[in-house]
Amino acid sequence: MGERVRTLRECLDVIAAEIAVSAERPRREAERMLMEYLGRDGLWLITHQDEPLSCDERLWEWVARRKAHEPLEYIFNRVSFYSQLFYIAPGALIPRPETELLIDRVLEAVDPAAEMTLCEVGVGSGAVSVTLALHLEQAQMIGVDISEEALGVAAKNVADFGLQERIELRQSDLLAGVPENIDVLVSNPPYVAEDAALERNLDYEPDLALFGGVTGMDIIVRLIDAVAERKIPLFCCEMGYDQREAVSAIVPKGYTIDFYKDLAGLDRGFVMTRKDET
């Protein structure tokens, strides 16, 4: 493939044509691949279109992987989330832009200067816990996941940001391994129904982080039950766009709930707060 390429422009054309089957914006993704491969920015790419270019097999391996619908984040082992770059690898769900809204809701609901214990269920890559720890400097985080692979990815991100003293990672089925009192519970749980038709790129992401039973509500129900049983004051959770009615029906006594929408105007999550007992 590479033998046909003489200039940067020709290389972009070849890559875009190859990945068109899997990419919504093949030209843009081709540019991202070359920026990553060459270690250059977008401006350099624009101003060097006729530059002679010789590409080795590493680039064409990336092209083949993307053509097979593998997400670029796994190919590059890097994902942008809340203005930070995180390590990512298969075994951990790729953080989505809409999950940044979950961070916003937590930060709106707590005192940033207060000492507190936050627990994230389904810590995955660790991006949510790390981001919260960076913004809540007095908070201690406990991140749990049932997946050993995901915990390995999270551990690298916790170490990369120097937060080992403030974020403890545990392998646990939901809160089974967290006996401590929790002030804030945060989760982006698996909420996709078992029979949902998914895009091909999701084939590369862990089923444990995607599917939440027949209706997608299994983990959310278990978390809400745990919140009520343990009287956790604040629960911030992402959900599916079609789950508002089901969640509303199981809000426990003594709690209020507020739903929030994503940038597309779809229901995307909720904040459940324990009422003051007076």
Query: From first to last of its 278 residues, what are the pLDDT tens digits of the chain?
Result: 545 558 999 999 999 999 999 999 999 999 999 999 999 999 999 999 998 888 889 999 999 999 999 999 999 999 999 999 999 999 999 999 999 999 999 999 999 999 999 999 999 999 999 999 999 999 999 999 999 999 999 999 999 999 999 999 999 999 999 999 999 999 999 877 666 656 666 666 666 666 666 667 899 999 999 999 999 999 999 999 999 999 999 999 999 999 999 999 999 999 999 987 53
Residues with Cβ within 8 Å of residue 151, at least 6 apart in sequence? 123, 145, 169, 171
Phi and psi at residue 32, in whole multiples of 5°? Answer: -60, -40
135 and 14 share a domain? no
Q: Which residues share a beta bridge with 273?
A: 234, 256
Joined together, the tokens standing for residue 269 give: 């999550």
Residue 240 sits in the same domain as residue 120: yes
114 within some domain: yes
Type and span of the H or E element at 257: strand 255-261
Range of the domain at 42: 2-68
Last residue of a domain, one of 37, 68, 99: 68
How far is the C-alpha of 148 from the C-alpha of 129, rounded, in Å?
17
Say if residue 153 is in the same domain as residue 203. yes
Q: What are phi and psi of 197, to 5 degrees?
A: -85, 120
User: Does residue 95 share a domain with residue 63?
Assistant: no
Residues 165 and 246 in one domain: yes
Would residue 75 count as lying in a domain? no
Domain-located, residue 178: yes
Query: Has residue 73 been placed in a domain?
Result: no
Pair 187, 111 in one domain: yes
Residue 231 resides in a domain: yes
Task: Evaluate the CA torsion angle 205, 263, 106, 162 in order and state its sign.
Answer: positive
CB 192 within 8 A of CB 239: no
Residue pointed to by tokens 């084939």 = 203
35, 68, 101 - which closes a domain? 68
Q: Are residues 47 and 111 in the same domain?
A: no
Same domain membership, residue 207 and residue 130 = yes
In a domain? residue 78: no
H/E run at residue 8 = helix 8-19
Domain contains 257: yes
Query: Measured between alpha carbons, how far is residue 201 from residues 84, 205, 206, 272 in Å?
Result: 23, 8, 11, 32
What's the domain count of the chain? 2
Say which residue the tokens 């929790």 belong to: 182
Residue with tokens 């053509």: 67
| CATH code where residue 147 lies | 3.40.50.150
Q: What is the pLDDT of residue 173?
A: 93
Task: Look at residues 68, 98, 120 and tell me which one is the last residue of a structural domain.
Answer: 68
Q: Both 114 and 143 in a single domain?
A: yes
Indicate whether 188 belongs to any domain.
yes
Is residue 104 located within the same domain as residue 61? no
Q: Are 100 and 68 in contact (CB under 8 A)?
A: no
Retrieve residue 7's tokens. Answer: 């200039």
The pTM of this model reads 0.91
CATH assignment at residue 25: 1.10.8
Shared domain check, 113 and 38: no
How far apart are the C-alpha atoms of 20 and 42, rounded to whole Å? 20
Residue whose pair of structure tokens reads 């029979």 in the numeric block: 195
Clarify whether residues 89 and 63 are in a common domain: no
Distance CA 45, CA 35 (A): 7
